[in-house]
Amino acid sequence: MATQIDMGDSLPNVVADELRALIVRGTLLPGEHLGQTQLADRFGRSKVPIREALKLLAAEGFLRHDHNRGYFVAPLELEEARQLYKLRRWLEAELLATAVWPTDAQIGEFRRQFDALDAMDQVSDFTNWALALENLRLALFALSPERILLREATRLWRLTDRYRSLMPRTMGESPERKLIDALAARDRDALLADYMQARAKIEGALEQVFQHGR
Protein backbone atom coordinates (compact mmCIF):
# COMPACT_ATOMS: atom_id res chain seq x y z
CA MET A 1 0.00 0.00 0.00
CA ALA A 2 1.34 3.45 -0.90
CA THR A 3 2.50 5.62 1.96
CA GLN A 4 0.96 9.07 2.08
CA ILE A 5 2.56 12.25 3.37
CA ASP A 6 0.56 13.59 6.30
CA MET A 7 0.49 17.35 5.83
CA GLY A 8 -2.29 17.86 8.33
CA ASP A 9 -5.80 19.03 7.51
CA SER A 10 -6.00 22.33 9.41
CA LEU A 11 -7.25 25.33 7.45
CA PRO A 12 -3.83 27.05 7.26
CA ASN A 13 -2.33 23.81 5.92
CA VAL A 14 -5.11 23.52 3.33
CA VAL A 15 -4.51 27.09 2.17
CA ALA A 16 -0.74 26.50 2.17
CA ASP A 17 -1.24 23.42 -0.02
CA GLU A 18 -3.32 25.43 -2.49
CA LEU A 19 -0.78 28.25 -2.63
CA ARG A 20 2.13 25.84 -2.91
CA ALA A 21 0.48 24.16 -5.89
CA LEU A 22 -0.02 27.53 -7.60
CA ILE A 23 3.64 28.39 -7.04
CA VAL A 24 4.90 25.03 -8.32
CA ARG A 25 2.69 25.25 -11.43
CA GLY A 26 3.97 28.78 -12.12
CA THR A 27 0.55 30.39 -11.71
CA LEU A 28 2.10 32.56 -9.01
CA LEU A 29 5.37 33.85 -10.43
CA PRO A 30 8.73 34.45 -8.71
CA GLY A 31 8.75 37.92 -7.17
CA GLU A 32 4.95 38.22 -7.20
CA HIS A 33 3.47 40.01 -4.19
CA LEU A 34 0.89 38.05 -2.20
CA GLY A 35 -1.48 40.41 -0.46
CA GLN A 36 -3.51 38.94 2.38
CA THR A 37 -6.71 40.76 1.41
CA GLN A 38 -6.49 39.63 -2.22
CA LEU A 39 -5.74 36.05 -1.20
CA ALA A 40 -8.62 36.03 1.29
CA ASP A 41 -10.96 37.12 -1.51
CA ARG A 42 -9.44 34.64 -3.96
CA PHE A 43 -9.83 31.62 -1.66
CA GLY A 44 -12.94 32.73 0.18
CA ARG A 45 -11.15 32.54 3.54
CA SER A 46 -10.59 34.93 6.41
CA LYS A 47 -7.21 36.62 6.77
CA VAL A 48 -6.22 34.50 9.78
CA PRO A 49 -5.64 31.18 7.94
CA ILE A 50 -4.18 33.13 5.00
CA ARG A 51 -1.64 34.77 7.31
CA GLU A 52 -0.72 31.46 8.93
CA ALA A 53 -0.39 29.79 5.51
CA LEU A 54 1.95 32.54 4.35
CA LYS A 55 4.09 32.04 7.44
CA LEU A 56 4.26 28.30 6.76
CA LEU A 57 5.34 28.82 3.16
CA ALA A 58 7.92 31.41 4.18
CA ALA A 59 9.37 28.92 6.68
CA GLU A 60 9.53 26.30 3.91
CA GLY A 61 11.33 28.70 1.57
CA PHE A 62 8.56 29.19 -0.99
CA LEU A 63 8.03 32.81 0.03
CA ARG A 64 10.20 35.72 1.12
CA HIS A 65 8.91 38.07 3.80
CA ASP A 66 9.63 41.79 3.92
CA HIS A 67 8.45 43.35 7.19
CA ASN A 68 7.40 46.52 5.39
CA ARG A 69 6.01 45.15 2.13
CA GLY A 70 4.68 41.70 3.00
CA TYR A 71 5.14 38.33 1.29
CA PHE A 72 6.59 37.62 -2.14
CA VAL A 73 7.06 34.40 -4.12
CA ALA A 74 10.72 33.45 -3.69
CA PRO A 75 12.93 33.84 -6.78
CA LEU A 76 14.32 30.84 -8.61
CA GLU A 77 18.09 30.85 -8.26
CA LEU A 78 20.60 28.40 -9.74
CA GLU A 79 22.85 28.35 -6.67
CA GLU A 80 19.90 27.57 -4.41
CA ALA A 81 18.84 24.78 -6.77
CA ARG A 82 22.34 23.31 -6.79
CA GLN A 83 22.45 23.18 -3.01
CA LEU A 84 18.94 21.77 -2.65
CA TYR A 85 19.64 18.99 -5.15
CA LYS A 86 22.98 18.25 -3.49
CA LEU A 87 21.20 17.81 -0.17
CA ARG A 88 18.65 15.56 -1.85
CA ARG A 89 21.41 13.41 -3.31
CA TRP A 90 23.05 12.93 0.08
CA LEU A 91 19.82 12.12 1.89
CA GLU A 92 18.25 9.93 -0.76
CA ALA A 93 21.44 7.92 -1.35
CA GLU A 94 21.58 7.19 2.38
CA LEU A 95 17.90 6.19 2.39
CA LEU A 96 18.51 3.75 -0.48
CA ALA A 97 21.67 2.43 1.16
CA THR A 98 19.67 1.58 4.28
CA ALA A 99 16.47 0.40 2.56
CA VAL A 100 14.98 -2.87 3.72
CA TRP A 101 14.42 -5.17 0.76
CA PRO A 102 10.71 -5.10 -0.18
CA THR A 103 8.41 -8.08 -0.38
CA ASP A 104 7.03 -9.36 -3.68
CA ALA A 105 3.71 -7.71 -2.80
CA GLN A 106 5.44 -4.36 -2.29
CA ILE A 107 7.30 -4.70 -5.58
CA GLY A 108 3.97 -5.40 -7.30
CA GLU A 109 2.48 -2.26 -5.78
CA PHE A 110 5.51 -0.18 -6.81
CA ARG A 111 5.13 -1.42 -10.38
CA ARG A 112 1.41 -0.64 -10.37
CA GLN A 113 2.12 2.90 -9.18
CA PHE A 114 4.87 3.33 -11.75
CA ASP A 115 2.68 2.14 -14.63
CA ALA A 116 -0.04 4.60 -13.61
CA LEU A 117 2.55 7.39 -13.41
CA ASP A 118 4.13 6.49 -16.74
CA ALA A 119 0.73 6.58 -18.46
CA MET A 120 0.06 10.17 -17.34
CA ASP A 121 0.66 13.17 -19.57
CA GLN A 122 3.22 15.43 -17.88
CA VAL A 123 2.36 18.37 -20.13
CA SER A 124 -1.42 18.52 -19.77
CA ASP A 125 -1.70 17.06 -16.26
CA PHE A 126 1.51 18.16 -14.54
CA THR A 127 -0.05 18.70 -11.10
CA ASN A 128 -1.48 15.18 -10.82
CA TRP A 129 1.64 13.69 -12.41
CA ALA A 130 3.84 15.43 -9.83
CA LEU A 131 1.61 14.17 -7.00
CA ALA A 132 1.74 10.59 -8.33
CA LEU A 133 5.52 10.85 -8.60
CA GLU A 134 5.80 12.12 -5.03
CA ASN A 135 3.68 9.25 -3.71
CA LEU A 136 5.76 6.65 -5.56
CA ARG A 137 8.99 8.31 -4.50
CA LEU A 138 7.84 8.33 -0.87
CA ALA A 139 6.89 4.65 -1.01
CA LEU A 140 10.34 3.72 -2.33
CA PHE A 141 12.37 5.79 0.12
CA ALA A 142 10.14 4.80 3.04
CA LEU A 143 11.75 1.35 2.81
CA SER A 144 14.53 2.88 4.91
CA PRO A 145 14.09 2.97 8.70
CA GLU A 146 15.80 6.39 8.78
CA ARG A 147 12.63 8.37 9.50
CA ILE A 148 14.29 11.73 10.22
CA LEU A 149 16.19 11.56 6.93
CA LEU A 150 12.95 10.69 5.15
CA ARG A 151 11.20 13.66 6.73
CA GLU A 152 13.95 15.99 5.52
CA ALA A 153 13.85 14.44 2.06
CA THR A 154 10.11 15.10 1.75
CA ARG A 155 10.70 18.73 2.73
CA LEU A 156 13.34 19.06 0.01
CA TRP A 157 11.01 17.49 -2.57
CA ARG A 158 8.55 20.33 -2.08
CA LEU A 159 11.28 22.92 -2.52
CA THR A 160 12.77 21.31 -5.62
CA ASP A 161 9.35 20.84 -7.22
CA ARG A 162 9.52 24.55 -8.14
CA TYR A 163 12.65 23.87 -10.12
CA ARG A 164 11.38 20.63 -11.63
CA SER A 165 8.49 22.62 -13.11
CA LEU A 166 11.05 24.60 -15.16
CA MET A 167 12.44 21.55 -16.90
CA PRO A 168 11.11 19.92 -20.07
CA ARG A 169 8.21 17.64 -19.29
CA THR A 170 9.12 15.15 -21.99
CA MET A 171 12.46 13.92 -20.57
CA GLY A 172 11.49 10.31 -21.22
CA GLU A 173 10.50 7.59 -18.83
CA SER A 174 10.75 8.36 -15.13
CA PRO A 175 13.86 6.66 -13.69
CA GLU A 176 11.91 5.00 -10.88
CA ARG A 177 11.47 1.85 -13.03
CA LYS A 178 15.18 1.06 -12.75
CA LEU A 179 15.08 1.62 -9.02
CA ILE A 180 12.16 -0.80 -8.70
CA ASP A 181 14.00 -3.38 -10.82
CA ALA A 182 17.11 -3.07 -8.64
CA LEU A 183 15.01 -3.42 -5.49
CA ALA A 184 13.33 -6.53 -6.93
CA ALA A 185 16.76 -8.00 -7.72
CA ARG A 186 18.07 -6.99 -4.29
CA ASP A 187 21.06 -5.43 -6.03
CA ARG A 188 22.29 -2.56 -3.82
CA ASP A 189 25.10 -1.55 -6.20
CA ALA A 190 22.70 -1.24 -9.16
CA LEU A 191 20.17 0.58 -6.99
CA LEU A 192 22.66 3.28 -6.01
CA ALA A 193 24.27 3.50 -9.46
CA ASP A 194 20.91 3.90 -11.22
CA TYR A 195 19.86 6.51 -8.68
CA MET A 196 23.04 8.56 -9.16
CA GLN A 197 22.71 8.35 -12.94
CA ALA A 198 19.14 9.67 -12.78
CA ARG A 199 20.14 12.51 -10.45
CA ALA A 200 22.96 13.55 -12.77
CA LYS A 201 20.56 13.69 -15.72
CA ILE A 202 18.00 15.82 -13.88
CA GLU A 203 20.56 18.18 -12.39
CA GLY A 204 22.23 18.54 -15.79
CA ALA A 205 18.90 19.43 -17.38
CA LEU A 206 18.34 22.07 -14.73
CA GLU A 207 21.75 23.63 -15.39
CA GLN A 208 20.82 23.82 -19.07
CA VAL A 209 17.58 25.61 -18.27
CA PHE A 210 19.40 28.34 -16.37
CA GLN A 211 22.19 28.65 -18.92
CA HIS A 212 19.83 29.07 -21.86
CA GLY A 213 17.21 31.11 -20.06
CA ARG A 214 13.79 30.25 -18.69
Question: In terms of C-beta density within 10 A (0-12 exposed, 13-18 middle, 19 or more buried), how is residue 192 classed?
Answer: middle
**CA-CA distance, 190 to 143, in Å (whole number)?**
16
* pLDDT tens string 29-55: 899 999 999 999 988 888 899 999 999
Residue 2 confidence class, pLDDT cut points 50, 70, 90: very low
pLDDT reported for residue 140: 97
What is the rounded CA–CA span in Å between residue 83 and residue 100? 28
Model's pTM, two decimal places?
A: 0.79
Q: Is the pLDDT of residue 1 over 50?
A: no
Q: What is the pLDDT of residues 154-196, one digit of tens each?
A: 989 888 888 877 776 655 567 899 999 999 999 999 999 999 9
